[in-house]
């Protein structure tokens, strides 16, 4: 990856192509974190729909501690999204190149922390396991908010329900039979670029899941290091541009 490509990928100036390329990379990252995280803590931490449903079930069944744990997990996901909003708006008001890169850099640092904490789970399971789950929830909220803000809610990377729904809608338009030919009134056409985008995000999330699960299976928590380095590489140039401007 060239410097100019990386700068365009995570920098302040955005294009539709750069948004979609970043979304594709982060979908792979999210799939890897989600699948590897499940092998580590037996929880899917990007799936807030399931967590909210579980909270309701636990309340009805009188499992108050489980319901409280679900609420805390939900709170950490929200806190991750809030952190992205705070960092982005703080950097935007200062016209910084790293407006979006700051959140990715923070995600990389937290991934390294996840690897460090997880490597010691067998020593302090009761203490570290809940902390690791909450850290992953925070990470997923942080990352999803980055792409949401960049793409103005066009792209999601950490959960696939909306992506698959939109994919189904576009496929329905694609196979729709327009009676009367191309000139007919109310012609139904698929948005083919969006269809390719949605299929790509879904495929990369799945591929990331396979890679993340295999890496965790064979290398344990050290599998987080390459993912963190990828995020650092993506975020570094805009941050270096800010530092260079500050030193002038």
Q: Please report, for the domain that includes residue 200, its CATH number.
A: 1.20.1250
Classify residue 180: in a domain, yes or no.
yes
Higher pLDDT, 18 or 128: 18
What's the pLDDT at 81? 92
Task: State how far the Cα of 191 lies from the Cα of 169, in Å rounded to an integer.
Answer: 10
Classify residue 23: in a domain, yes or no.
yes
- Number of domains, the chain: 1
Classify residue 4: in a domain, yes or no.
no
Banded pLDDT at 177 (limits 50, 70, 90): confident
Per-residue pLDDT tens for 117-165? 766 655 555 555 677 788 888 988 898 888 888 877 677 777 788 888 9
The CA-CA-CA angle for residues 166, 168, 173, to 5°, reads 95
Stated pTM of the model: 0.83
Classify residue 159: in a domain, yes or no.
yes
Task: State how far the Cα of 4 lies from the Cα of 180, in Å rounded to an integer.
Answer: 48
Per-residue pLDDT tens for 54-68? 899 999 999 998 899
Place of tokens 């530092």: 243
Structural domain for 218, as ranges = 16-242
Q: In this structure, are residues 78 and 134 in contact, taking their beta carbons and an 8 Å threshold?
A: no
Mean pLDDT over residues 101-120, rounded?
Answer: 83
């Amino acid at each position: 990856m060239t410097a100019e490509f990386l700068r365009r990928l995570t920098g302040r100036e955005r294009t539709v192509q750069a948004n979609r390329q970043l979304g594709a990379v982060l979908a792979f990252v999210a799939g890897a974190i989600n699948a590897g995280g499940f092998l580590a803590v037996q929880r899917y931490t990007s799936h807030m729909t399931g967590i909210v449903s579980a909270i309701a079930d636990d309340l009805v069944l009188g499992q108050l501690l489980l319901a409280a744990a679900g609420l805390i997990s939900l709170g950490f996901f929200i806190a991750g999204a809030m952190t992205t909003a705070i960092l982005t708006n703080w950097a935007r008001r200062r016209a910084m190149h790293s407006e979006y890169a700051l959140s990715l850099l923070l995600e990389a640092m937290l991934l390294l922390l996840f690897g460090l904490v997880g490597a010691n789970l067998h020593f302090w399971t009761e203490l570290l396991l809940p902390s690791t789950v909450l850290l992953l929830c925070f990470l997923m909220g942080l990352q999803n908010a980055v792409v949401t803000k960049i793409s103005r809610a066009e792209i999601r990377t950490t959960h696939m329900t909306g992506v698959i729904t939109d994919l189904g809608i576009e496929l329905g338009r694609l196979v729709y039979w327009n009676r009367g030919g191309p000139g007919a009134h109310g012609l139904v056409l698929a948005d083919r670029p969006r269809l390719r985008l949605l299929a790509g995000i879904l495929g990369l999330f799945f591929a990331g899941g396979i890679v993340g699960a295999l890496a965790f299976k064979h290398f344990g928590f050290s599998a987080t290091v390459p993912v963190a380095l990828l995020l650092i590489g993506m975020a570094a140039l805009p941050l270096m541009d800010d530092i260079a401007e500050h030193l002038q």
